[in-house]
Amino acid sequence: MSAPATVIMTTRDAETFEVATGALCLDFVYTGGSGERSYWESLHEPTDLARWFQQSRLAVIAPIPVGLTLSGDDLAAAHDLRETLWRVVNDLADVRALDPTDAATLNTWARMPDLPLIFNNGRAAWAEPAAGSQLLSALARDAIALVTSRLRGRVRRCAAEDCALLFVDTSRPGARRWCAMTRCGNRTKARTRTDRHHHFDPEPGS
């Protein structure tokens, strides 16, 4: 089943750009977080979290129940799990072993009952009612699948010096460098051209 290829990000200059993160758990990391990432925060209310799941890759497999109701506790748990996922994907990008506490957190969530995919009038459907813990469990399982797959070595940080965005390079050649070519790729190329220009310009008075 194909998945939505990108998440939409907004820069501080209010420009939008699309990032192909390569994994469900990374899509979730892109919803915000602590510190610098709070700029991206999009999960302010439990309804934001429900809406995120309804537009996530899980919804491509089968629709997320429209009546999904999540609590403040679910939101707090989602924020905590997101911090864990952020550290985990950074560990992968830096080729470091996972922190045992983070691994234990992933396992705690992954052990929760999963969201069952059922057969409904000839179509796939997520069984209702869907609980927040089942959805968070799906995120933890996705992270565990990534950590233990061959793609773990393809988790990278954008090559732009001032960009901390991570992605899984799922391309066949595996030579992806940028979070998004339309943002960091072009920015960096423009800067390189400018640098070269300055380099060949004679200094004033020389």
Q: Which is nearer to Zn ion, 17 or 53 (CB)?
A: 17
Q: Which residue number, 133 or 182, has a Cβ lying nearer to Zn ion?
A: 182
Residue 158 touches Zn ion, criterion: CB under 5 A: yes
Q: What is the DSSP secondary structure assignment for residue 39, as one 8-state letter?
A: G
Which runs of consecutive H residues, i.e. helices, occur in 4-56? Answer: 24-29, 46-54
Interaction of residue 112 with Zn ion, rule CB under 5 A: no
Does 103 engage in binding with Zn ion (CB under 5 A)?
no
Per CB under 5 A, 160 contacts Zn ion: yes
Smallest distance, Å, CB 30 to Zn ion? 12
Q: Does 93 bind Zn ion (CB under 5 A)?
A: no
Q: Which of residues 168-187 bind Zn ion (CB under 5 A)?
A: 179, 184
26 binds Zn ion (CB under 5 A): no
Minimal distance in Å, beta carbon 184 to Zn ion? 3
> What three-state secondary structure class fits 203?
coil
Q: Does 163 bind Zn ion (CB under 5 A)?
A: yes
Question: What is the SS3 assignment for 164?
Answer: coil
Q: Is 26 exposed, middle or buried (0-12, 13-18, 19+ CB in 10 A)?
A: buried
User: CA of 139: how far to CAs of 68, 106, 124, 196, in Å?
Assistant: 17, 9, 19, 44
Cross-strand bridge partners of residue 8: 18
Residues at the interface with Zn ion (CB under 5 A): 158, 160, 163, 165, 179, 184
